[in-house]
Structures are given as C-alpha cells and as structure tokens.
Structure 1
Amino acid sequence: MTWQETNRYKTILHAAEAGKYGVIAAIAYNIEQILGLVQAAETAKSPLIIQFFPWAITATDGLLVRTAAEAAKRASVPISIHLDHAQSEAIIKRAADTLPFDSIMVDMSHYEKEENLAKTRALVEYCNARQIATEAEPGRIEGGEDGVMDTAGLKACMTTAEEVDEFVGTGVDALAPAFGNVHGEYGPAGPQLDYERFEQIRQQARGRVHFALHGTNGFSPETLKYCVAAGVTKINVNRLVLDDYYDHLRANVGKMPHTQLIEEGIQKVADLTVRWMEICGSAGKA
C-alpha cells in the first residue's frame, strides 16, 4: 500500500468527495481549542482536520502541533493535522522534517505566477518524499489572517481554468481556488462568491484534486451548504467555530475560577463546531 492510500488528510478528503459532504478544517491557537475540536468530532461522529498557522510552530516550538497529533491519535474518529498558509520554504521544510503533519499548504501566492508554480512544485516534491500531502492556492485570495501575509497590496486574482491545469501539474492534492472569497473579514455586503467560476474550475480539474474553501468568516449556513453542494470538501474555518469561545472569555474572565473558565471554553468550541459539522454534512460520517 502506498503512503497516498494511508495518508490521513487524503483518506478523509477522498471519503468526503465520495460522500458529497464537507469536512471542517479548523484553526487552533491553544490547547482548549484543540480539545474542543476533538470533542466535537467525537460527539458528532465526524472526521476533522485541525489546522495551524506557521505561528504555532515558531511560538510554541511545535509543541501545540505535537499535542494535537497526540489527541488525534487517541480519537475514535479520523482526525488529520494540517499546516495552513506556510509561506516560507524554511518553515515548510522544518514542518515536513520535524513535525507530525499529515498535510501542508504550500502557499507561494505572494510570488508572481511562474515563481509561485516553480516553488510550489519543488516543495510539493519535498513534502511528498516525507509522505505529507499538499495544498496550494491558484490565483490569489485577498486579505490576511494571524501570522499570514496580508496580500491586500497585491492584486487579488480570481483563479482561471488554465491555472487549474498548471497547479494540478505541480502534484498538489488539494486546491484552494479564489472565486470571490477573502481571508479575514467581509465588508457589509458579505461574501460575493462567483459560483459559475467555481464550477468552471471544478470541471477543469476533472476530479484530479480536492477543493478547499478558504475565507469563511461570517458565512451563513446556506452559503456553506451551497459551497459543499458545488463540490468543496475541505472547509477552512477560523472565527466560524471560535466566536462563542471568545465571547465566553470576554464575558467571564475574572468572574469564575480559571479552571471553570477553561472547561466552559472547551465546551463552547465543541458545541459550535458540532453545529457546523452538521451543516457541512459530515456528522455521522466517521
């Protein structure tokens, strides 16, 4: 059996593709959030992807990542560990060589296209040699998040059908297309997604890669369901599953014992994540 057939990220997305549901890929910043996400997956009987920004590697010397991998190993449902928006070759190599990631997003979208493709190809090869799956961003999704370069000064470029072929050619396992989605916050009008463009991208891919949806802050359940129905299998979420946790901290810090604050915070993450797992259709699929 090849590593591709046993890689946790690939098997989770392959099953989602076959079952026509979306899998929550949630950013975690601390141990409470890791615990809450794992608890949600167990409760909903759903697969899960736990993601980290490169910040988690540098700030905690990888300890947060190892903690999540340990929790994933003990879980009764499939959970994979993903590095999101890795934008430097050094951090990608460090992650691939020393940390228990199942997959890494090789994000070279801050380079012009030719250089983006060349660097992506080389880094995909590097990761694959270490049995790690990869994801990339054709086009450029505007905006920035924690520890991720803000591309606002660079032109947001919607993904084209030609780019799909070019990026599939780099050997990536998943693509995060730009079709009106943005990192960070949407303006008062909310998300303006170009579903027609996404359909063209999907047709051009002809099943050769999985699709990841980036930029879901403020999405309604209807929007997310529509994206899953359109063929997205990996749903990147940040605030969508963490808002209740932060509201809880703001309302209760200093007003209850610290241990209670932590335990209730874990529960807030778990409850909200279960809700979105149900919306994405992954509940009961583990």
Structure 2
Amino acid sequence: MAPTPATQRLVDNKAKKIVDDAYAGKYAVPAVCCYNLEGILATVRAAEAKKSPAIVQLFPFSIDFADGVMLHAAAEAAAKASVPVAVHMDHAQSPEIIRRAADLGGFDGIMVDMSHYERDENMRLSRELVAYCNERGIIAECEPGRINGGEDGVEATSEDMEEILTTPEQAEEFVDLGIHWLPAIGNIHGPYPTGGPQLDWPRLKAIEDQVGDRVRIVLHGAHEDHFREELMRQCIDYGTAKININGVMNREFIRVATELAGKVPLTTMMEKQVQAMQAVIELNMDWMKSTGKAA
C-alpha cells in the first residue's frame, strides 16, 4: 500500500532526519531557543559556518506575540540555509496553541507538553494532539514525566505537583502514541540549586535500552553554568541526540545591548548581537560534536 501524503511527510521530515542522523553518528544537534530574529539569524549562520545541522526552536510566545510572522521568518531562514536546519516548537502547553501552530505551517516538529496535567489527562491529551501533529506531517515530542523549574516560555510545575521522572515503562507508553523525541533524564529548567545537576544515568540507560531503537532521547535544562563539553558528551554517550540551549546564547543578546545601547547605531548593535550569539552557538556545536556533520 502506498504511503499517505502525511505519512510520507513524516518519513521525509527534516527535523526527524537531522536528529536520527545525530543519533546514528553519535553526536547531538543544538536546538537553539530563539525569541527574536537575531536569534534565528545567529543559529542559521552558526550552522553554515560550522557545517553543522541545527534546529531553530520557538516557544508559544512566538505565536501569541507575533502570530505567524516569526515562525515564517524562521521557516524561510531554515529553507534557505546551505545546511540542514529545522524549526521546532518547544513546550507547547495547551491544546489550542498546538493546533494553531500545526495549522499555521512552518513547524517541522512540535513539543506536546501536557506534563502539567495529572498522568491520565496527560496521556489522553498527548494521544489526541500527537495524532493531530502527525496527520499534518509534523513530528511530536512529549514529556511523560514532569521536570521541575521554569524558564521564560515554559510554565513552571505548580507547587502541589511533585516532580515525576520518566521511567522505561512510561517511555514505552508514550512511544506508542506516535512520538519521535523523548526528554528522559532528571534535569530541570532554569538555574540548578547548589550542587548542580544530579543526573540519573542508570535511568537514562534503562530508557535508552527500552525505547532507543524507536525514539530519540533529547535533553532539556542544559543550563550554561553546568552543561559544557564534558557533561554534554557524557549525555551523548548515553544516547542523547538533541540538546536544547537557551540562556547561554540569549544572555549574549542582553550583554551586547547593555554595553552598546545608545553608544552605536541601532543596526550596528544588532549586528554585534547576532555575532555574539553566533559565537556561542558555534562553541556548543563543537562540544556536541555536530561541527562538520553537514559537510
């Protein structure tokens, strides 16, 4: 039987291929959280300079704030890139925003994050919304457990909901929903408490052994104070193929603005911001071993 158009789009999905290739090649791809055009440009230019695949990652903020304008800018920049660049929505946390994002066109992937609901409702909504994305040729990422902490663009876990780390059994259930990417290690969003990240390596190994042949493991909460070359590469050794980066790059945007605002022309400051953000992304590509993989 010939595949349906949606099924074929999933097979050919750029984001899926980028991360599958990373897993097979034992490196990781940076998924760069972009809040503005400067971030999108920095990501694509870094990818081209380092000959690295990359993912431009937008939050629901980009849809709420600018409707489809920022999304379509990202999609156009990715399409014009000389190396593989995909566009993904991170932490879409309501059914309404997921359907709206999927219908706009331009996303290769969407994270269906219903982790702020209790387990049964998380499963019900995830099943429905993953199918909605897949029917449109969009791959899906889901969070079976619950990661504590918050960051700009992500709803923090409510105080009366305890952190729940993904188990191999939960991972199996979510793979059955039709997802493609799975956050599967006990890290947090935002800054870590004293002592830094306490990553559960045996848990990650067990999850990789259980579902690693069917779904790619991804890392959230790679805070710049702790996740540098050694720790990133250890995660890669355990099967991680996509690593989200946020603050380490976006703080450069703020730093340059603080130093140059009012002292140089606005266009000069914007160029310097893109250059500073690009440099950090390139360094992370080296750490993740994705440099040169798109050559």
Scaled by the length of structure 1, what TM-score is found? 0.97
Map Cα deviations across residues 179-234 of structure 1 (whole Å, 9 max, x no partner). 32001111231111111111111111141100110001122221111111111001
Structure 2 residue 60 is the aligned partner of structure 1 residue 54: yes
Match of 2:163 in 1: 156
Unaligned runs of 5+ in 2: none
1:253 is aligned, of 247, 261, 284, to 261
Match of 1:113 in 2: 119
Map Cα deviations across residues 137-186 of structure 1 (whole Å, 9 max, x no partner). 11111111223211051211111111011111111011012x32001111
Tell me, yes or no, if the aligned pair for 1:175 and 1:211 is still in contact at 8 Å: yes
* Percent of aligned pairs with the same amino acid: 45
Aligned partner letter, 1:167 = F
Q: The residue matched to 2:154 in structure 1 has which SS? A: coil
Aligned partner letter, 2:103 = D
Moved more, 216-225 or 95-104: 216-225
Q: The residue matched to 2:240 in structure 1 has which SS? A: coil
State how 1:40-51 maps to structure 2 within 5 Å.
40-51=46-57
Give me the whole-angstrom Cα distance separating, in 1, the residues matched to 2:253 and 2:244: 18
2:175 is aligned, of 163, 168, 171, to 168
Which 4+ runs in 1 deviate beyond 3 A? none
1:198 is aligned, of 193, 204, 211, to 204
Tell me, yes or no, if the aligned pair for 1:241 and 1:276 is still in contact at 8 Å: no
Map Cα deviations across residues 65-89 of structure 1 (whole Å, 9 max, x no partner). 1101001111000000001100100
Number of aligned residues: 285
Moved more, 151-160 or 241-250: 241-250
Superposed CA RMSD in Å reads 1.2
1:20 is aligned, of 22, 26, 46, to 26
State how 1:84-123 maps to structure 2 within 5 Å.
84-123=90-129
1:209 is aligned, of 215, 229, 240, to 215
Match of 1:10 in 2: 16
Give me the whole-angstrom Cα distance separating, in 2, the residues matched to 1:126 and 1:199: 30
Give me the whole-angstrom Cα distance separating, in 1, the residues matched to 2:199 and 2:38: 33
Match of 1:180 in 2: 186
Return the offset for 1:248: 1.6
Map Cα deviations across residues 8-57 of structure 1 (whole Å, 9 max, x no partner). 11110111111110000011011111111110000000000001110110
Q: The residue matched to 2:89 in structure 1 has which SS? A: strand
Match of 2:237 in 1: 229
Give me the whole-angstrom Cα distance separating, in 1, the residues matched to 2:51 and 2:23: 17
Aligned partner letter, 1:280 = M
Structure 2 residue 39 is the aligned partner of structure 1 residue 33: yes
